[in-house]
Amino acid sequence: MKKVYRILIFLHVFVGVGALGGGYAGISNPNGPFGIPVEVLKNSPFDNFFIPGIILFTIIGLGNLLSSVMFLFKTNLKIYISFVFSCALPIFIIVQCIMLRSVVSLHVIFFIIGVIQVLLSTILFFNLKLFPANIILEFYNEKINKKTKSF
């Protein structure tokens, strides 16, 4: 289980640092971060990259770094926080692809990383038998017990 924790912490830090950089670029240069023209936003509700930069910086960047720091504490809240910010990344990527009406390799890479984060957080939910995994496990065990009793 330590391996799951380590991989998840690494991914949170990796995503968080990258998102801070990308978000800062959108905030500091909203009309062309990394040379991306604002014309790519023509199908989105945004005129420039300022608001998307804030979202990327705060929710994805700071959220993932908060998630990694929470693993230093001995509380089960870290799993819930990790799960929430893990889910935020694939959602952000999907919304971004819809608004830009394009998919590039970085979208695919970070979508996969987000899905891996979600899966690892889910593994921790089930391993620690935290809500809602405890209810699912209890329901599943009841079904198994009913089938074995009928034989």
The domains of the chain are located at 2-150
N-to-C CA span, the chain: 35
Q: What's the confidence (pLDDT) of residue 141?
A: 78
Q: Is the model's pLDDT at 86 over the cut of 80?
A: yes
Look at residue 112 in the predicted model and tell me its pLDDT: 98
pLDDT tens for 101-119 read 999 999 999 999 999 999 9
Instruction: Note the Cα 6 to chain centre separation in Å.
Output: 16
Rounded distance between C-alpha atoms, residue 144 and residue 32, angstroms: 57
Per-residue pLDDT band for 39 (boundaries 50, 70, 90) equals: very high
- HSE, CB side, 13 Å, CA atoms: give it for residue 148: 6
pLDDT of res. 130: 83
Q: How many CB atoms lie within 10 A of CB 22?
A: 21
Question: What is the value of pTM for the model shown?
Answer: 0.88
Q: What is the residue-averaged pLDDT of the chain? A: 93
CA distance 81 to 78: 5
pLDDT of residue 151: 58
Question: Are residues 52 and 95 in contact, defined by beta-carbon separation less than 8 angstroms?
Answer: no
The reported pLDDT for the residue numbered 137 is: 84
Q: Which residue has the tokens 């949170």?
A: 12
